[in-house]
Homo-oligomer: A and B are copies of this chain.
């Protein structure tokens, strides 16, 4: 990670510890939507004394700064998306991989609902089978 980026995070009020650096490096450009455990497993190689609490603390801090998003797409497990810009997801029902979809679908609710709800964001979750799993079919 570059010095500038570290400085950038620091200015956001994040104390930059080696553990946090390792987590940030793992998340940077990562499109696998990892769980806390995925992150822990990766970082514990570098920091064997690493605690799960540190992973959760860091993720919570990043979430508060709007740098990552927490996804509730898998029941009973949080997953994290290091891309904070609005986008959608496709979830493969076979392999459970989560793919990003960067289309702007311009969804607007009809008038009646617009009175009832002040909408701040909208996420679409597509479900089905991905090309990889299609290929493996009989």
The answer to whether A131 and B103 touch (CB under 8 A), given A73-B72, A75-B72, A123-B124, is no
Contact A126 B99 (CB under 8 A): no
From B74, B109, B119, B128, contact of A121 by CB (8 A): B128
Minimal beta-carbon separation of A90 from chain B (angstroms): 5
CA distance A128 to B127 in the complex (A): 23
Binding site for B on A (CB under 8 A): 70, 72-76, 78, 90, 92-93, 99, 101, 103, 105, 107, 109-110, 113, 115-131, 134
Copies of this chain, tallied across the complex: 2
Contact B127 A124 (CB under 8 A): no
CA distance A103 to B114 in the complex (A): 13
Contacts of A109 in B (CB 8 A): 101, 103, 126
Contacts of A78 in B (CB 8 A): 75-76
